[in-house]
Structure formats: C-alpha cells, structure tokens
C-alpha cells in the first residue's frame, strides 16, 4: 500500500520532464559573457523567459509518455 501511494522514481528510471524542470528552470544563474556583452538591456532576464517557454513547449510536446522517444535517443547517445 505504501509503495503504491508513494511512487519513488528511481534514478535510472528517467523522468525527463522533471529533469527539464530542474536543468532549465533552476540552478544558479551566472551571467555568461554572451548575455552581458551584447547590449545594455537585461538579457539575462530575457534568457530566463526563453528557457521557461522552452520547458513549457518541451513538456507540452512530450507529455509523460512521449518522453520515451527522447530517452531512447539519449541511450543511443552513449
């Protein structure tokens, strides 16, 4: 019962959407030179918006099941 109610996603059982969420939405933001050197505008902020919309579109594109194909790609990747 406990195991049904609490689903522990194992490390090798890839959760693509969770990974996208972590890698693209979070993590320390350090301004790279590219975002700084282009112009005076706050491009870092712009960059974050782009990342956010990228997560959304990836999540919409894959859904939980569609993630499989990317994971297969990734396995071939090795």
Partner 1 sequence: MRAGDPKLTERETKSGEPARVFYVYCIAERGPTSALLNDIVPGAIEADGALEMVIKDDLAAVVSSVPASEYGEEALQSRLDDPTWTALRAMRHEKVVEHFARKSSVVPLRFGTIYLERAGIEKMLRERNADLRAIIEHLRGREEWGVNAYCDRSVLKTNITELSERLRELARQAEEATPGRSYLIQKEIEALREKEVRAAVKRVAGAIERELSNYGEAATRLRVLKDEATDHGELIAKLAFLVDLERFGEFRAAAERLAREHAAAGFQLELTGPWPAYNFAVDG
- We find the least distance from the C-beta atom of residue 65 to partner 1, in angstroms, to be 9
How far, CA to CA in Å, does 49 sit from each of 19, 29, 56, 57, 71? 18, 13, 11, 12, 25
Residues 7-66 binding partner 1 (CB under 8 A) are 7-9, 11, 14-30, 32-35, 37-38, 43, 47, 50-52, 54-62, 64
Task: Classify residue 42 as left (phi > 0), alpha (psi -120 to 50) or beta.
Answer: beta
- Residues in touch with partner 1 (CB under 8 A): 1-2, 4-9, 11, 14-30, 32-35, 37-38, 43, 47, 50-52, 54-62, 64, 67, 70, 73-74, 77-78
């Amino acid at each position: 019962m406990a195991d049904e109610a609490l689903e522990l996603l194992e490390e090798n059982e890839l959760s693509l959407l969770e990974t996208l969420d972590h890698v693209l939405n979070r993590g320390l933001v350090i301004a790279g030179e590219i975002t700084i050197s282009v112009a005076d505008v706050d491009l870092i902020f712009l960059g974050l918006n782009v990342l956010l919309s990228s997560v959304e579109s990836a999540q919409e594109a894959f859904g939980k099941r569609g993630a499989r194909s990317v994971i297969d790609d990734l396995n071939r990747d090795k």
